[in-house]
Structure 1
C-alpha cells in the first residue's frame, strides 16, 4: 500500500512530519530543525510535532544519545506506530507520571527488560553505570492492533548500545575456559557464522523484553488448562 503524501494538508502536522521522515529523510538519515522549518514553512511548532512522534515508538536521536551527531542534528533511527493510519494516533500520554514510573519499575523488577542490568551497575568493559528510564514500546496484540505500553529500559539499550566495545582478550580467555562439549558447540556456530535458536529460546527472548501488561498475558497463556 502506497504511503500518503507528506505534503497533503488534510493530515495534521505530526502525521505529515512522520510521512516526511519516512519519505524524505529515510531511516538513519540526519536532519536539523532548519530542515523541518523548510519542509513546513509557516507551520508553528513543527519541530515539536516531530518530537511528539517519540510517544508512538519512533526513535529520533539527538547528540545526547548519538555522539556522532552535531549539536543541532537529529537522526531518524526507526519508525514506530504509523500515525497517519486511522486510529493509530491516539495519544498515549504526554508524560509518564511519578506513580506510573514507580509502578513500572516495580513490575519490571527494577531491571532493564532488554539486557537485565540494574540501576547503578557498571556495564561490562566500561566505567559507565546504568540508569533506568521508562520507555514506550509498541506491542502488536494477537488481534493485530498495536498498543503502546510502558517498560523499564536502560539508556544504552534505548539508544542501541552506541559506543559499546567488546574486549577480545576477555572473549578469547573465556573460550580457553570452555569444556570440550561447549567448545565444540561454539566452534560449530562460528564455523556457520550463525546460531539456530530453539523455539523455546526465541520465545523466551521475546518474552523478557515485553512490558508488564503483555508479560501477564503470556503467563496466563502458560497456565494449565482448567478441567
Structure 2
C-alpha cells in the first residue's frame, strides 16, 4: 500500500495534515497551530482540516482535554482512519445534542461528573485548574444483550480516561443479585442520597491504613486487647 507524503500536493489538505501529524509530529507529541501553518504556507483553512480529522477518529487534544498543554498547543494522541485511502475519512452525519437534551442530562446527573464527582468550576487541586463539564455518549451493554449509547455528564479530564469505555449493565445487575438484604439496603441508601456514606468502622479502617508501621502496630495491640 502506497502511503502519501505530507508534502505531496496532489492530495487534499486534510490528507496532508494527517500525514504531517504522523510523519513530523508523531503520536503523543505536542504541536502548535503556528507550526502547522508554517508547514502549509498558503493553504487555506488548514486549522479546519486538522479539526475535521477528529470526525475520522483522530484524537487531537487541546488544553481542555490535556491540562499539561498551553493554550496555543495541541497534542497528537492517536491516529484514526487512514484518510488517504479511498472511502475513508468521509464526514459522518452529526448528531448534535440540543440545549434541552444537554440540560436534562446534566440535571439527571446532579450537575456532577459521574466519574470523579467534581462539579462545574470546582478545583481539581494541586494547581490543575478547574473542572469543565460536558455531556459524553457512553456505550452501555443492556440486560437483554443489546448495546446503546446513553448520555452522561463528565469533566474534561475524565473524558480522556473514559474514551472507548463501555458500561456492562448485565454484569452489574448480576453482582447486585448476589447481595444479601442488609447490603441491598445500604446500597439503596447510597443510591437515594447519590453518595456513599461511611460507617465509623470504615472511617477507622481508612485512617489506620494511612499510619506508619509503628503506629499501626500500636492500634493493632489496642484493638486486640479490647476484643479479648
Deviations 1:37-82 (CA, angstroms, capped at 9, x unpaired): 1111100111111011111111111111111111100000111111
1:127 aligned partner: 118
1:91 aligns with 2:91: yes
Contact preservation (8 Å) 1:31, 1:73: yes
TM-score, reference length from structure 1: 0.51
TM-superposed deviation, 1:118 = 8.6
Contact preservation (8 Å) 1:118, 1:132: no
> Alignment length, in residue pairs?
143
2:161 aligned partner: 160
Contact preservation (8 Å) 1:122, 1:128: no
Give the structure with higher Rg (CA).
2
- Ranked by relative contact order (alpha carbons within 8 Å, sequence separation 6 or more), the top structure is 1
Instruction: Identify unmatched segments of 5+ residues in structure 1.
Output: 112-116, 136-148, 162-168, 174-227
Q: 1:119 to 1:88 in 2, by over 3 A?
A: farther
TM-score, reference length from structure 2: 0.50
TM-superposed deviation, 1:156 = 3.8
TM-superposed deviation, 1:131 = 3.8
2:65 aligned partner: 65
1:18 aligned partner: 18
Contact preservation (8 Å) 1:119, 1:132: no
TM-superposed deviation, 1:12 = 0.7
Contact preservation (8 Å) 2:112, 2:118: no
Question: What pairs up with 1:1-227 in 2 under 5 angstroms?
Answer: 1=1, 3-93=3-93, 95-98=94-97, 120-124=112-116, 127-128=118-119, 131-134=134-137, 152=151, 154=154, 155-160=156-161
Instruction: Give 4+ residue runs of structure 1 displaced > 6 Å after superposition.
Output: none
